[in-house]
Structure 1
Amino acid sequence: MSIAEHSFLPIIQDQELKDSFSVGFMNAHTVPETALCSISYHRIFLILEGTGGIQIDGHTYPISGHEFFLLSKGQLFAFLPGSVVNGYELSFGDCFWEKSPASANNCKSVLFDNAASNQHLPMPGGENRELITLFEILYAEFTAADYINKLDALAAYLKVIMIKIANLNAALVSAYDSHEKQLYRQFMASVSEKYKHTHEVAAFAKELGISTRKLGDVCRRCSRMGPKEIINGQLIAEARRYLQFSSRPVKDIAYELNFSSPDQFSHFFKKHAGSSPNEYRANFVKIGM
């Protein structure tokens, strides 16, 4: 489905979660006609088995099983109609994450600060049983009767799961050529830090000491996306967060993200998100945001 088609789906807002935390189990769930969900909480989908696909910020990923999908607050997602999903859906807010020990903060940053680079993680056979068991325990704990310090116990399990997924991600990273992957990670870190200052591929390539063509080759081999697509994805994700979670005027957001004018920002946003900034924000006003 193209971005244009993507934009015609209705948008619904995430349901508010008690204690900003939830774990659900989808038992061979068949997805009917659906709408895009704008998420207010970070999401981890552990897909054990499945068919169909999931659409995240305009990109469609096939579902095959034994895989994770990681979504960051502010992203839009929908399962494709007719998809069949067997697995777990874990949702948590930043305020719940604060219950987890600070030592796990770097794992959350690696996985969710630039979710587009970690959106889909296959789960190797050797990791299956351990991670599945952790989700089984967390789900059983979540659905059990409340008790004193239950939230602290859930936060501790979440910390362990996050560390294990971060380690899985690191293992997948090491499977690539180490020099190219190092360049890619440096590029991603630089984009996360400097996307408000420059949007130019050439500027990032110069910082890394490589040509724009080399940077393009590295990005496509490591993520199947070009560097401009990655930069634009970061800008769109941040713009969506501003529009959804703040009341800042569009012109202020435009200058904050280093666009030369509100018109340039509006044209960019409509091209990549399928609606104008004001139309996007109005969707959330209609549903009570």
Structure 2
Amino acid sequence: MLRIASLILDNEIKDSFRISRLDHSIYNEGSLISVTYNRIFIIQEGKGSVIIDDKEFEINSKEVLLISKGQIFSFSPLTTLSGFEISFGDCFWEKAPASASNCKLLLFNDAALHQKISLQEKDFIELDPICKILLIEYLSDDYPNKLDAMAAYLKILMIKLANLAPSYNEGIDDFDNQIYRKFLELVSTEYHQMHDVLYYAEKLLMTPRKLSDISKKKSGKGAKEIIAGQIIAESKRLLQFSAKTIKEIAYELSFSTPEQFSHFFKKYTNTSPLDYRKIFVNIGR
């Protein structure tokens, strides 16, 4: 259950984009931050831990943390990070070339699938100069199309990260890996309408059991869990950031009735949609 008293809103940022260099930055606050912007922490050196949506992750050197809009996170006291922190909103991402859209969907539609990505030394060597160039652009004086230039660099970074995500960077030509990637791409674009594993299995020309086995092997989660994760993540975003009624959200996500949606949401979050929304109304969102 969320500690409402310690829940604070993300600070608003100019142009919906920010990048900062972390140099042994120490996080002493234990407050929970409700995320308005998608966040990427590229960690060169780090120690401590972070809690994201009630799940705790140990922080190590040479890794990436992904936190998506609508998630809630908090660093443990005295957590120390060196590297880069990047925050971007949906309106900024729209400036990025459309060819990178799938990468953003795969990484951030349900960030819980790829919350933490371990890096090899060679991976960090590839990512570090991209981040440095992006930081230089961000700190430079404004000029025409500056935001477009930064969005282009963000696109490159996102493509690199998508290919480093667990199960993506090994055996790219492996049959199971190809199926898993296609499954995630399908779910990312069709979960609003299609909730059944059978639908995706038929699209991929296999049985639901086979699809679930591949999904479990690649992510530790069955196909049904992955679909549900996408729906829950989007439900949380709609409850936090939209003025739509619970009934409207239920129908937008293709539930037969608001009651069916409420039962589904409570099953996976242990709270009702109404009570979840009240948390954010109480802190002024």
- Using the size of structure 1 for normalisation, the TM-score is 0.83
Residue by residue, what CA displacement relative to the aligned partner does 1:86-138 show, whole Å, maximum 9, x if unpaired?
A: 22110112222333344544543443344344333222222222311222333
Aligned partners of 2:203 and 2:97: how far apart in 1? 35
Partner of residue 111 from structure 1, selected from 107, 111, 116? 107
Residues 100 and 232 (structure 1), Cα distance of their counterparts in 2 relative to 1, 3 Å cut: closer
Q: Say which is worse superposed, 11-20 or 131-140, in terms of deviation.
A: 131-140
Aligned partners of 2:118 and 2:168: how far apart in 1? 9
Judge conservation of contact 2:117–2:166 (CA < 8 Å) in 1: no
Give the match's secondary structure for 1:88. strand
After TM superposition, the structure 1 = structure 2 runs for residues 168-183 of structure 1, keeping only pairs within 5 Å, are 168-169=164-165, 172-175=168-171, 178-183=174-179
Partner of residue 134 from structure 1, selected from 130, 134, 142? 130
Q: How many residues align?
A: 283
The aligned counterpart of 1:77 is 73
Aligned partners of 2:249 and 2:202: how far apart in 1? 27
Residue by residue, what CA displacement relative to the aligned partner does 1:162-215 show, whole Å, maximum 9, x if unpaired?
A: 343344449944436711112212222232233233433344334434344433
1:219 and 2:192 correspond: no
The aligned counterpart of 1:120 is 116
Partner AA of 2:30 in structure 1: T
The aligned counterpart of 1:66 is 62
Residues 242 and 129 (structure 1), Cα distance of their counterparts in 2 relative to 1, 3 Å cut: same
Gaps of 5+ in 1: none
Residue by residue, what CA displacement relative to the aligned partner does 1:19-57 show, whole Å, maximum 9, x if unpaired?
A: 111112333233335233222222111011112333333
Aligned partners of 1:166 and 1:157: how far apart in 2? 14
Give the match's secondary structure for 2:192. coil
Judge conservation of contact 1:36–1:78 (CA < 8 Å) in 2: yes
The aligned counterpart of 2:52 is 56
Partner of residue 245 from structure 2, selected from 234, 242, 249? 249
The aligned counterpart of 1:25 is 21
Partner AA of 1:264 in structure 2: Q
Judge conservation of contact 1:74–1:237 (CA < 8 Å) in 2: yes
Q: Say which is worse superposed, 46-55 or 25-34, in terms of deviation.
A: 25-34
The aligned counterpart of 1:234 is 230
Aligned partners of 2:199 and 2:188: how far apart in 1? 14
Give the match's secondary structure for 2:157. helix
Q: Say which is worse superposed, 132-141 or 198-207, in terms of deviation.
A: 198-207
Partner of residue 161 from structure 2, selected from 151, 160, 165? 165
The aligned counterpart of 1:287 is 283
Aligned partners of 1:203 and 1:156: how far apart in 2? 35
Aligned partners of 1:152 and 1:205: how far apart in 2? 38
Judge conservation of contact 1:176–1:222 (CA < 8 Å) in 2: no
Aligned partners of 1:176 and 1:155: how far apart in 2? 27
Aligned partners of 1:92 and 1:232: how far apart in 2? 25
Give the match's secondary structure for 1:52. strand
Partner AA of 2:25 in structure 1: H
Residue by residue, what CA displacement relative to the aligned partner does 1:58-101 show, whole Å, maximum 9, x if unpaired?
A: 44333212111223322233334443322211011222233334
The aligned counterpart of 1:39 is 35
- Using the size of structure 2 for normalisation, the TM-score is 0.84
Judge conservation of contact 1:173–1:181 (CA < 8 Å) in 2: no
Residues 257 and 29 (structure 1), Cα distance of their counterparts in 2 relative to 1, 3 Å cut: same
Residues 60 and 227 (structure 1), Cα distance of their counterparts in 2 relative to 1, 3 Å cut: farther
1:148 and 2:143 correspond: yes
Give the match's secondary structure for 1:266. helix
Judge conservation of contact 2:62–2:118 (CA < 8 Å) in 1: yes
Residues 281 and 170 (structure 1), Cα distance of their counterparts in 2 relative to 1, 3 Å cut: closer
Aligned partners of 1:220 and 1:76: how far apart in 2? 26
